[in-house]
Chain A
Amino acid sequence: MNARLTLRAGLFAVALLLVAALGTWLLFGRGRMPIQTDLLAMLPATEQQPLAEAAVQRLAHANGDRIVLLVENTDDERAKAAARTLGKALRPHNVFASVLATLPPFDLGQMVAPYRAHRFFLLSDADRAALAAAGYDPAQALAQRIDAPFVDGVGTTLQDDPFGWLQHWLDQQPWSRSPLVPEDDLLVAHRHGQTFVLVTATLAGSSYDDSVQQRVLAAVDDAVRRVEHDQPGTRVLRTGAVFYAAAARAGAEHDVHLVGWISTLGIALLLIGMFRSPGPLLLAFLSTVAGVLFATVTSLLVFGQIYLLTLVFGAALLGEAVDYSIQYLTARANAGPRWSAADGLRQVRPALLLALATSLLGYALLGLVPFPALRQMAVFAMSGMLAACLSVFWLLPALLQHPAKPLSAPPVHLAQMLQRGVSRAGLGRRGLLLAMLLLLFALPGWWRLSHDDDVHLLISPPPALVTQEHRIRDITGLGNSSQFYLVQGANTEQTLQREERLEQRLQALVRHGRLGDWIGLARMAPSQARQRDDHALLERILRASGSTSTSNARPAGPAEPTRTLADRARLQALLVAGGLRTTAANAYADAWPGTPLDFKAWLATPMAMPFRYLWMGCDAQGCGSIVLPQGGDDDDVWLRRAAQGLPGVSLVDKAASVSQLFGRYRRYASVWLLAAIGLIVPVFGLRYGWQRMPRVLAPPVLGIALTLAALGYLGQPLTLFHWMALMLVLGVGANYAVFLHEGEPHTAHRPGAMYASVLLSALTALLSFGLLALSSMPALRDFGLTLLLGITFTALLVPASRADEDGAP
């Protein structure tokens, strides 16, 4: 018999070692630590279309691998000197692939040249409207251009663009509208008497790589400190995914340390106090370590990486995994000298299996939510609990052959008093009355409950970083990327046309001050249809104003070349009449009609490079592009309305989608909770009889009801995570009822001992899960607080479930 126990334990130990080795390799053996600091990766796929989800990823990472620094000083010279120094200080660090502070030499003419051949196909919105209106006179436009006061000539020349059409078109391009202007070879903005200078750097690795984060932070902190010291009055604002990721990692590490250490220490002290010897403590931890190890390896094998949320949650799971070994250890302590490891196991097995089953059910429900992060938490918990329980069945018996000291007397005595008090109160009709009173007391709390589904439950960046990002966005005009339009079409042309229809509406929003601006590709390289229309508009205008050869043209649709020739002659005549030299007029007219701008060719030019990420490309389903709204109200009603009724256009708002999903599942959660209770009812009914079942189930259910009331009194808006925790409360609370029911018959000779072990389980759970209430992540904080309340209520109520047997005088 003992040999079988030893053999099983040996096999289990070997398996444990193998898993440990596998885990070590998975964690450290493959270069990068597989810990995911990209918070976006935790979010569920919310978008119906895969392309929208891809666009979200694209935008997050377009800005993901670079940092943006903005140097601010009231003294212009100092601001610029500081920016130069900052650039120089960052450049030697090889964690940056490139650092941009001073601009490379660059000719304004380069902005004009690529568009010159297409100038008769490109019109600004204002010119298009003016040309289409009745009474437009190109001669007037020419005169206005020639006689405009103070023209400093930056842009197109009179010869290249006598009517100013190309200039106007260039003026509406994003690079002409940027609040940042080149000054002293730096990109500078002046605002409220302050000078702001832009310094950017691209990273030589991923923002989510641990070592990249550390090196970037060290380099930037050091350089900024030096610059702020050397140039007094300087402030350096920063933004970039790397800063957010580093903050998230630091927050999670802090949480893991806090929860991990305090709970480990607390549990150790509790166990030593109860069992009065260090042996049980070591065994309890051995079982827990087995659980965490299996859980980590399973999660890594299933998901390939571990989310920060899981890491913190995992630290808290220690407290639940330790319950199984506590039950076994208590059984040994209670058996006294009559202890036999195999008999003891037989005694606790039903309770442990029942407890395991309810836990697995609870976590399986958690895993049904389509959130990557919650799924992983569920897988982590299920594998961890299973392993911890198996270690009690297979490993612990071999190590616990000898009888132990009974449990420490004072806690048992205390437990006994508590148990007697509660079960007396819960007896018969009095119990029912008290339960009713409790519910009555809870009623106003329920009444006060509200809810909150904000995405910041999962992602709560440090406010300091967020304010800096807002300020940088405000000054530089760099867009926010959480809201954008996805435009889809069957081909490039249709996509651009649809984008143009959207941009018409956005233009109206800008006019009414509801939107600052937007960035879209169709504005930089219009659709062929729009270019044809614009060209036709110019053609019509020339013909209408043509004075010379119009009468000679054949009225009935002349052949194409003849028409073009006639148009050219008209153009030439118009320019000469307006005062241009014949040579200049000829040169301009010779350029007529030119060619339309080709989208693909434009996209390949260096000028398009900063905007290339807006083009999602084409596949069998069609093409897609992104339009970024910038500035304006936070209210997205207008943005949403602008997309309404436009085919192929949708507003993608990841934050709003996630919040909606949170809300949907929060509403489902109450139903799930009922379903979970429904699953436990038959299990308890079969085991304890249908008449006693309500009494066994009452403590966890009442515990949940009181927790909800307490949350209401605390003014905590309910979130999805509160409900998730309530599900756990149900699972844990049911365990306590089971432990008490299953264990009590075996410990009749030691009154209070069984309840003491249940309280011990509850305290260890509180020490781990309850500490999550101190977490820096709102989701885990809600989770922790709910468990703290729920477990406390349930553990205190649980003696009432045996009131009819124990409470009887």
Chain B
Amino acid sequence: MRRLKWLLLLWFVMPLAHAQADDALLQRVLTSLGQHAAVRADFTQTRSDPALEKPRVSQGHLLFVLGHGMLWQTQSPFVQTLAFTGQQAARIDPQGVPQPMRDARGVSRISQMLQAMLAGHVNEVRRQFHIAARGSTAHWTLQLVPRQERMARVLGSIELRGDAYLEGIRIAMRDGSHTDIRFSQTRDAGALSGLEKRALDLP
């Protein structure tokens, strides 16, 4: 009987302890990431989809400004700049003028989630995802699984991994498609160009 009690107690305490460790790591990771107000990186995105003959690779540069949004500049296979700010998504034309895309809720959802998380609003993200943290601050993985059943039917999970910076994102869909984004040459952004400021609606 006594043993059973201990077992029960352990049963309850274990996940709790686990969750706390997770949370502590998550907080440390987010704090460390949040120290960089603006970051530049090169990206390589690999998308595989059941409808595609072979995985498709695109490359380019990323500018991430905390609290404002990000610029996604594809260099190959074609040149295009997308700006994600808040709930808006826009295509930046060669003159640097944003051309709003149609209601881009689906496209900008993950960008919003990243923004919210790095700005320390973990609770907003927790409404939509279960977050599990693994590893150490030097080498970590965050696994996000949708909480909402509707979402879970299409989206499998989102995995973020990194060290001092975000190294990669992997999005797994239920229909068997994957998106893998790897970042390299990550560095603090330094001064922004006029075009970048305009695109992100910065002063």
Identify the A interface with B (CB < 8 A). 76, 105-109, 124, 126, 140, 143-144, 146-155, 157-159, 162, 167-168, 171-172, 176-177, 182-185, 190, 576, 579-582, 584
Contacts and interface: CB of A to CB of B under 8 A. Distances in A.
Closest 4 CB pairs of A and B: A584-B51, A159-B51, A150-B110, A147-B58
A108 B103 contact: no
Nearest to B80: A144
B53 A153 contact: no
Interface centre among A146, A154, A171, A184, by most chain B C-beta atoms within 10 angstroms, is: A154
Given A146-B56, A147-B74, A158-B49, 17 more contacts: A76-B123, A107-B153, A108-B150, A108-B153, A126-B101, A150-B107, A152-B171, A153-B155, A153-B173, A157-B175, A159-B50, A167-B106, A176-B103, A183-B148, A579-B53, A581-B52, A584-B50
A580 B52 contact: yes
B2 interface: no
A106 B150 CA distance: 7
Interface in B99-152: 101-111, 123-124, 127-128, 147-151
A151 B103 contact: no
Interface size class of B (residues with CB under 8 A): 35 or more
B27 interface: no
15 contacts: A76-B127, A107-B150, A124-B102, A143-B78, A146-B49, A147-B77, A151-B107, A152-B173, A154-B109, A171-B102, A171-B103, A176-B105, A182-B148, A580-B51, A584-B50
B106 A155 contact: yes
B54 interface: yes
B33 interface: no
A793 to B, nearest CB: 64
B85 interface: no
B183 interface: no
A143 B155 CA distance: 22
Given A126-B102, A579-B54, A184 B147 contact: yes
Contact of A152 (B54, B58, B102, B155): B155
Contact of B177 (A147, A158, A184, A576): A158
Nearest to B126: A76
Given A171-B105, A579-B54, A151 B179 contact: yes
B82 interface: yes
A154 B154 contact: yes
Contacts of A107: 150, 153
A153 B153 CA distance: 11
Contact of B53 (A148, A172, A580): A580
Contacts of B80: 144
Contact of B51 (A149, A151, A158, A177): A158
B72 interface: yes
Contact of A153 (B82, B103, B123, B175): B175
A149 B106 contact: no
Interface centre among A105, A177, A579, by most chain B C-beta atoms within 10 angstroms, is: A579
Contacts of B154: 108, 152-154
B61 interface: no
Interface centre among B104, B150, B155, by most chain A C-beta atoms within 10 angstroms, is: B150
B79 to A, nearest CB: 11
B102 A158 contact: no
Interface centre among B105, B106, B179, by most chain A C-beta atoms within 10 angstroms, is: B106
Nearest to B72: A149
A184 B123 contact: no
